[in-house]
Amino acid sequence: MHKHSTYFHSPLGIIKIEATSEKITSIRFLDSIPGHHIQETKLLNESIRQLLEYFNKARQNFSLPYETEGTEFQKQVWDRVAEIKYAGRATYKDIARAANSPNACRAVGNAVSANPLPIIIPCHRIIGSHGRLGGFSSGLWRKEWLLEHEQNNMNQHLSCSDTASYKK
């Protein structure tokens, strides 16, 4: 299956989006744009539009079709992570329990770090049990930025004091 790709500049640096003609397959942060041809498809343009709305505090949820490649456990973890509400938080342990593997916190961490669709599948919302941020495959500073971006948006638009919004 042929994949298309495009790049755009975000507040967090260059983002590369890859997709088939029907589904987003990858979002990655890059330091520079390689000399590759940028392709335009309806889906890639819609992906950029939705990401820009997110960065401009006009979108909290994405409505993009996507497909992930991974183990069944990874997909189960990513599905649970995708359920975390905007500006919410969940711990690795919360996700392990939701994935019916309560002792698999480390495996959850590995699955989260392999997430092919950061922001869309909001792995930045996963924190350690003691409130520590943990890691982020795209750089901890990006995780901090995303969490602050969402929290600031919630503070501006909603009077919501509960940020623990993970639901199984």
The pLDDT tens digits along the chain (168 residues) read 788 999 989 999 999 999 999 999 999 999 888 776 677 899 999 999 999 999 999 999 999 999 999 999 999 999 999 999 999 999 999 999 999 999 999 999 999 999 999 999 999 999 988 888 877 788 889 999 999 999 987 776 544 333 333 333
Indicate which residues carry an active-site annotation.
Answer: 123
Q: Which residues contact 72 (CB under 8 A, 6 or more apart)?
A: none
pTM score of the predicted model = 0.86
Distance CA 23, CA 5 (A): 12
> What is the Cβ-side half-sphere exposure of residue 166, based on CA atoms within 13 angstroms?
21
Q: Determine the topology of domain 72-157 in CATH.
A: Arc Repressor Mutant, subunit A (1.10.10)
